[in-house]
Amino acid sequence: MKNKQDVSAGDLIKTARLEKDLTMTKAADLAEMSLSTFSLAEKDSEKHPSTYDTIYKIAHALGLDPLVLIEMSPHLDVTEAPDIALIKGESNDPKVVLARRLKELRKDKGMTQKEVRRIVNMSEIRFSHMELGRYMPDEIKLEQIAEALGTTVKYLSGLSDIKTAE
């Protein structure tokens, strides 16, 4: 049995998930992220460490304190954690704007990540990272995504507030 100080963020996530009788898939859906991203967070993956945004979403979905999870994550520094407004995506960073608008349009169209990924031929990890604000695709891929979602590259990039393609 682990000592209290040996408990990791992943342990806390798993315990909270199991207490709520949730599968990883259901918990990932509640946290609005891919199953692979949730799984990596629960396993404390060093190869693909969680971001502040991922930790916040998981904490919110499972009723945990995000700052506690951040403190328990060795690769994150609680003193450098962005304000909750930034974590929620109110940043003007182009990757965050893309993430927010992409997710909003996809949900408005009633599409899953998988459906959009298939249309634009993109891996689950890349697409997930794009919706988390960690990846910005090239112009060609942005055009494909815009077309699939009936919008423009300018809207996705935050250069225009007009959603629909004319």
Residues 24 and 35: their CA atoms lie apart, in Å, by: 7
State percent of the chain over pLDDT 70. Answer: 88
Closest CA to 101 of 60, 130, 123: 130
Asked if the model's pLDDT at residue 139 lies above 50, the reply is yes
End-to-end CA distance of the chain: 61
Asked if the model's pLDDT at residue 56 lies above 90, the reply is no
State percent of the chain over pLDDT 90. Answer: 44
Compare 53 and 85 and report the one with higher pLDDT. Answer: 53
Residues 48 and 69: their CA atoms lie apart, in Å, by: 16
Closest CA to 79 of 90, 88, 65, 67: 67
The residue type of 126 is: R
Q: Is the dihedral of CA 4, 57, 98, 25 positive or negative?
A: positive
Please indicate, yes or no, whether the overall pTM of this predicted structure exceeds 0.85: no
- How much is the pLDDT for 75? 81
pLDDT in tens, 8-35: 899 999 999 999 999 999 999 999 888 9
What is the arithmetic mean of pLDDT over 105-127?
A: 92
Reported as half-sphere exposure (CB side, CA atoms, 13 A), residue 103 has a value of 17
Number of C-beta neighbours around residue 147 at 10 A: 14
Query: What length is written for the chain?
Result: 166
Number of C-beta neighbours around residue 118 at 10 A: 12
